[in-house]
Amino acid sequence: QKEVEQNSGPLSVPEGAIASLNCTYSDRVSQSFFWYRQYSGKSPELIMSIYSNGDKEDGRFTAQLNKASQYVSLLIRDSQPSDSATYLCAVNRGNTPLVFGKGTRLSVIA
Amino acid sequence: NAGVTQTPKFQVLKTGQSMTLQCAQDMNHNSMYWYRQDPGMGLRLIYYSASEGTTDKGEVPNGYNVSRLNKREFSLRLESAAPSQTSVYFCASTRDMSNTEAFFGQGTRLTVV
């Protein structure tokens, strides 16, 4: 089993809709969880971090963490064409390098 | 504020040639990393340096060497480039190994022919 798994997509949503991106991880001792956005030909950019169970909101973005289910998600409300990118989930087990999923490609259709 | 700076941005090598990718950060971070990114493979860790004076292998270290020159700089060397090393290389840094909000350089697109 891969350490961090994401559906590769593409996930296509219409403009203005909610995009839901999902990530599962295998190591129960994982402590920190991150979402990165990567535009084509660019480097990953941190958009959300979450450390405890529940929801964390930042503007149009909401990260959700459920440690019991080993599941973390990212919701993007009012999706815009500029949100079209690959979203990388990353997990840290504490004092070890981040482990990244392969990413989900999101396409927001105008 | 430059953040993480990588050089060069693009490079074409012939098989067997050597080169060094340079990375520097100005955020006073302790930990630095080198990743490669290939289509369908995601980001794979090559080497990392938890702190100045230490380096460790990641998931795909074969064919690479690293040097943590000082707290700011972490270089990646390809001694004898192979076509399988054609990839996009990213340097990243974090405050330390427990705070892993990572910041990335702009990447180096390397082609080995």
* CA–CA gap between residue B22 and residue B14 (Å, rounded): 19
Q: Write out pLDDT tens, residues B7-32.
A: 999 999 999 999 999 999 999 999 99
* Amino acid symbol at A71: Y
Share of chain B above pLDDT 90, in %: 88
* CA–CA gap between residue B37 and residue B66 (Å, rounded): 17
Contact in structure between A19 and A35 (CB atoms under 8 Å):
no
**Rounded mean pLDDT of B45-59?**
96
Question: Which two three-digit tokens encode residue A106?
Answer: 């999101």
* CA–CA gap between residue A15 and residue A39 (Å, rounded): 18
Q: Residues of A numbered 28-47 whose beta carbons fall under 8 angstroms of chain B's beta carbons: which are they?
A: 32, 34, 42-46
* CA–CA gap between residue A35 and residue B62 (Å, rounded): 28
Which segments in chain A show pLDDT lower than 50? none
Write down the mean pLDDT value for chain B: 95
Contact B105 A88 (CB under 8 A): no
Contact in structure between B22 and B88 (CB atoms under 8 Å):
no
Residue among B42, B101, B106 minimizing CB distance to A100: B42
